[in-house]
Structure 1
Amino acid sequence: MSSALFHGSFQVVLLLLLMCTVLNTYVHADSDGRFAQIPIFSTKTPYFWVRSNDEIINEDSEFTHDATDSAHSSKSCLSFHINSLIRHGIRYPGLKWIKRMDEVHEKLIKAAVRSKSGFIEKWINPFPYDKEHALSPLGVAELFALGKRFGQRYKALFDEETDKLEYIISSKERTSDSRRAFHEGLSEIISVDDADANVDHMLVLDDKILRFHSGCKKYIDQIENNDTALEEYFKFKDGPEMKGVVSDVIKRITNTDADDANLLNGDEVQTIHQICAFELSFFGKSDWCQYFDQKDMEIIDYLNDLKHYWQKAYGYKLSSDMSCPLVRHIFQKMDNAVHNFEDGEDFTLGMFRFAHAETLGPLYAALGLYKDQEPLMANNFKRQANRLFRSSKILPFAANLAFVLYECEPDSDEEDIEESEEENIYVKLFVNEEEIIIPACGEILCRYTDVRQYYSHLIDKCDFGKICEIEEAQNHDEL
């Protein structure tokens, strides 16, 4: 990634960001290959399609909380530490998908398919092989904007003290580039003269924390590389809903009611869906999108959610268990912040990790977030229309999770209640910049000691080697 992309003018990148914002007004394909509402593309959804970049960012550094428990009806709270995990921004497709795009295009050309305006005949794959998985200019824009938003929300917390920030990245270049863009955006708000001058000593590369899935042999053998672990995904892929999508796409491509079942298979229709997703995010439109309607999009979205649910989240307990090194690291950093805050010593104000959807999904499951009462299955598509686990909303590009620590004091009416300093430390949990209910206490604001105790099995009893060892008897029936 060229350094000029970061250190030159951001005018081009901000124009691209504006494109993301414009697309907030666009899932129902029209004749120009655009959508009338926000498109749903699972983990390939740009961040600013699910969050508006035009919203007003309110500072969350200090607030008064009206609690539900009678002992602490009102609290004045001041933040002192933020601890986050951020997915990289929009990237180029992987090599597998780029090659599949070329293959399906070549197949349609050989079949002498004539598209409206001749776009199929003229189409050239805009995603070069040598860019595979690289952060795109739009990805830079996403993270730059996200850094600004974090700076605006926690400006009083950071107070221009960038020497008290820490960054951790994975070994993939897209996380390093995302970190750099985020830091530049953050620095624009907290007024750092040289945004990257003091970052190297704060930067750590750690795949054991951020790519734990790649080091867990049991996970790789039993889930990632085991088709039987994705039985529900394949059932739905071969089921009537997806067969209907394939048939509809073929009819739209051939522009006839005749169903040429041999023209495309399910994998090739998914590939066209990927072209639509990436072109729409990169360029604001895609002629390939005209072959899908709202119903098709929802079916493919559920297909993708089945894969992520079973492979990365709640399908198997191993997926959440193997994230314990990350959970432990998050809470160790918060423990350190709490103790040093109470002792009046220096500590990290902001802990920022940059990783992947494969990092966030298991973390969500470990924390008990977005867990539906009924597991996602091939046979309950209609019942899951309002599911919590929707990857396009919780795992888009630049998805982010953040714990924020606060010191809270009772209001003046309850000054007689004596509490230790530790009992005055509270925490909020944000996902994609929205505060959510923490399972540990069922509230937006929880006492930190209660939250830590709730997840203590992941923090104090994390044995990654034991979790990831291969057992002779393999069981894929756990939910």
Structure 2
Amino acid sequence: MLNNIISILTISLFTSSFASFCHWNSGCPYKYFASKTSYNAIRGDIRDSLVVLKGCEPVSIWGLLRHGKRYPSSRFGKSMNEALAIREDILSSYREGRSSLCAQDIEDLDAWVTDKKMFDSATELTPEGYEEMYGIGKRIRHTFANLLDKLDKHTFRPAYGKWIEDSAKAFIKAFNNNKIHPEKSLSESDVMAPYLTCGKYQKDVQKNPNIYEESEKYKKNPEYLATKDRIQRRTGIAYELTDTNVTALYDLCRHTWSGVESKLSPWCALFTKDDLQVLEYIQDLRSYYRNGYGTPQSETFGQIPLADLLRTFQKVKEGDGKKMTAYFTHATMLDMVYTSLGLFKDNKPLSSANRDRDRKWRSSANSAFSVNLVAVLNRCTKKDEIDYNVVFYLNEEPIRAICADGTCTWKEFEEKLTPFLNTKIDFCEFKSEPY
């Protein structure tokens, strides 16, 4: 009996000495998960951040929006489903005194119930994703009520994909107008996703595993190896975790976190803040070289929706435009548009050799679920003269980087976007299927 008590005390002391971080009561848990970040973690509120200009009124709104939170693809879902078995090993390690996880985090992980839809409804829009998109629509409608309450001339078009179509429907639902419907999505190349059917780009970039060379090289970096070792020791699992295991566990963490309900995921307890930042950087490397400055074609593709933006506002100036234009698309398209505008550009390319903690290219902030780039055309009257300006918003906050004072004069706006009107993607060579 005495030996048993001593053993229990020893295990307790061993566990307590290593359980220096508890996820459940961390106060400010890290909630940035690259492109799987919840919109609520990074958004502003356009109702509060609206740029009000004396003598001006909004006359047209143009937006490019990523779809809301969706369930993982079948490929990633399969890896995540297989990783669920590791939970029993983590619980056993804790009972045997090999884990440094906190008791409450273990209890929460043990009680966690699998959402079958996460594996059975691949890529479908989640209820949280619906709420994200509905919320954006509601706040925009509220902010520009005078312009949008009687919305007659408009375009709402989703890119190809059911989860994107459902995102558009959620956004439109906020307008409480039964006469507004999304346009039919096009399977071929379109304004908000021209890269999808570009054969050469799909072959050389999107479906080329070599494009991820830097992110794979980073997995040999001492920083990543230290992260992997911390996860190994924190969980106390007897066998060695593979890179696939680590990625699957990370995906379980970021897919089961609720931004709308501010609900923590017990799977995130397996990682420290440093671990999550390292894993986030792997995703940044992937998006940078696939969608951003690491691929020359990205800038060209990004010019196509920006040319549409210019044409849309030119028509409004001519008296024949639309009050609102909204395109619903992928994170890839937003990344390409940032590249065309020169946003979030670092002085040096992102590298596997060194993780710049102050880098500008951060997919958690720029490519989260439901991220959106919105441009507002204002008509201004001064001394009986009419002029126009454009204000850009990213995730419901004004962008200061496009024009010096945050508000583009019409001349600045036109000069910046006019070169994009002649953009061609004749390098595609052949057409490919979008999915």
Give TM-score, length-normalised by structure 1: 0.76
Is contact 2:64–2:327 with CA below 8 Å preserved after alignment? yes
Q: CA deviation at 1:371?
A: 1.1
Distance 1:451 1:467 in 2: 28
Write the distance in 1 (CA, Å) between the matches of 2:24 and 2:401: 43
| Structure-2 residue corresponding to 1:444 | 406
Matched with 1:317 is 296
Partner of 1:385: 357
Pairing 1:414-433 to 2, within 5 Å after superposition: 421=386, 424-433=387-396
Cα distance per residue 1:9-32 (max 9 Å; x no partner): xxxxxxxxxxxxxxxxxxx96243
User: Which of 194, 198, 216 matches 2:179?
Assistant: 198
Judging changes above 3 Å, is the alpha-carbon distance between structure 1 residues 99 and 214 closer, same or farther for their aligned structure 2 residues?
same
The residue aligned with 2:167 is: 178
Partner of 1:12: none
Residue matched to 2:341: 367
Q: 1:301, CA displacement in angstroms?
A: 1.3
SS at match of 1:373: coil
| Cα distance, 1:40 vs structure 2 | 0.8
The letter of the residue matching 2:243 is G
The DSSP-based 3-state class of the residue aligned with 1:199 is coil
**Which of 208, 220, 234 does residue 238 from structure 1 map onto?**
220
- 2:293–2:339 contact (8 Å) kept in structure 1: yes
Q: Residue 390 of structure 2 contacts residue 407 of structure 2 at CA under 8 Å; is this kept in 1?
A: yes
Q: Which has the higher contact order (CA 8 A, sep 6+)?
A: 2
Checking the alignment, whether the CA contact within 8 Å between 2:58 and 2:379 is kept in structure 1 is: yes
> Which runs of no fewer than 5 residues in structure 1 stay unpaired?
1-27, 65-75, 188-194, 341-345, 471-479
Q: Secondary structure of the equivalent of 1:57? A: helix
Aligned partner of 2:242 in structure 1 is 265
Indicate how the Cα distance of structure 1 residues 59 and 298 shifts in structure 2: closer, same or farther if over 3 A, else same. closer
- C-alpha contact 1:171 1:205 (8 A) present in aligned 2: yes
Hey, what does 1:343 align to over in structure 2?
none
Measured in 2, the distance between the counterparts of 1:37 and 1:141 equals: 22
Counterpart CA distance in 1 for 2:286 and 2:46 is 35
Residue of structure 2 in register with 1:348 after alignment = 322
Alpha carbons of 1:447 and 1:358: their partners in 2 closer, same or farther (altered >3 Å)? same
**Alignment match, 1:85:** 64
Q: What CA distance in whole angstroms lies between the structure 2 residues aligned with 1:430 and 1:135?
A: 24
CA distance in 2, matches of 1:181, 1:323: 25
Paired residues, number: 396
d(CA) in 1 for partners of 2:427, 2:404? 29
The answer as to whether partners of 2:201 and 2:428 remain within 8 angstroms in 1 is yes
| Aligned counterpart, 1:285 | 264
2:344 match: secondary structure: coil
Q: 1: CA distance between counterparts of 2:404 and 2:269? A: 43
Q: How far off is 1:113 after superposition? A: 4.6
Q: 1:41 aligns with which of 33, 37, 62?
A: 33
Q: Which amino acid aligns with 1:298?
A: Q
Which residue is 1:469 aligned to?
A: 429
Q: Secondary structure at the match of 1:351?
A: strand
55-64 or 97-106, larger mean C-alpha shift: 55-64
Alignment-mate amino acid for residue 270 of structure 1: T
Residues 78-133 of structure 1: per-residue CA shift (max 9 Å, x gap): 21111001111111111112110122233565899544657777766424333111
The verdict on how the C-alpha distance between 1:409 and 1:29 changes in structure 2, with shifts beyond 3 A counting, is farther
Q: Does 1:228 align with 2:210?
A: yes
Of the three residues 341, 354, 378, the one matched with 1:406 is 378
Could you report, residue by residue, the CA deviation over 1:187-245 in whole angstroms, capped at 9, with x for unpaired residues?
3xxxxxxx3x2123x62423522222221222212222223322221111221111111
- Going from structure 1 to structure 2, the CA distance change for 1:29 and 1:112 (only over 3 Å counts) comes to closer
Deviation at 1:358, TM superposition (A): 1.4
More displaced 10-residue stretch of structure 1: 139-148 or 225-234? 225-234
Shift of 1:352: 0.9
Q: Percent identity?
A: 24
Counterpart position of 1:7: none
Give the match for residue 24 of structure 2: 32
Tell me the secondary structure at the aligned position of residue 98 of structure 1.
helix
Tell me the equivalent position of 1:57: 47
The change in CA–CA distance for 1:337 and 1:204 in structure 2 (over 3 A counts) is farther
The amino acid of 2:427's aligned partner reads: I
Give the letter for the 2:400 counterpart.
Answer: I
The 3 A distance-change label for structure 1 pair 328 and 127 is farther
Deviation track 1:8-63 (CA, whole Å, cap 9, x = no partner) reads xxxxxxxxxxxxxxxxxxxx9624387624511011111111236xx682484852
Q: Partner amino acid for 2:166?
A: D
The CA distance in 2 between the partners of 1:331 and 1:253, in whole Å, is 53
Question: Where does residue 70 of structure 1 map in the other structure?
Answer: none
The verdict on how the C-alpha distance between 1:289 and 1:35 changes in structure 2, with shifts beyond 3 A counting, is farther
Alpha-carbon distance between aligned partners in 2 of 1:111 and 1:145, rounded to the nearest angstrom: 38
SS in 1 for 2:233: helix
Superposed displacement of residue 287, structure 1:
2.0
Deviation at residue 365 of structure 1 after TM alignment:
0.7
Determine if contact 2:371/2:395 at 8 Å carries over to the other structure.
Answer: yes
2:145 aligned with 1:166: no
CA–CA distance in 2 between the matches of 1:308 and 1:335? 33
Name the CA distance, whole Å, in 1 between partners of 2:295 and 2:62: 27
CA distance in 1, matches of 2:190, 2:156: 15
* TM-score of the aligned structures, taking structure 2 as reference length: 0.83
Identify unmatched segments of 5+ residues in structure 2: 1-19, 95-102, 431-435
Q: Label 1:233 to 1:399 Cα distance change in 2 as closer, same or farther (>3 A).
A: same
Q: CA RMSD in A?
A: 2.7
Contact 1:400 1:431 in 2 (8 A): yes
SS at match of 2:174: helix
**Among candidates 212, 216, 222, match of residue 198 of structure 2:** 216
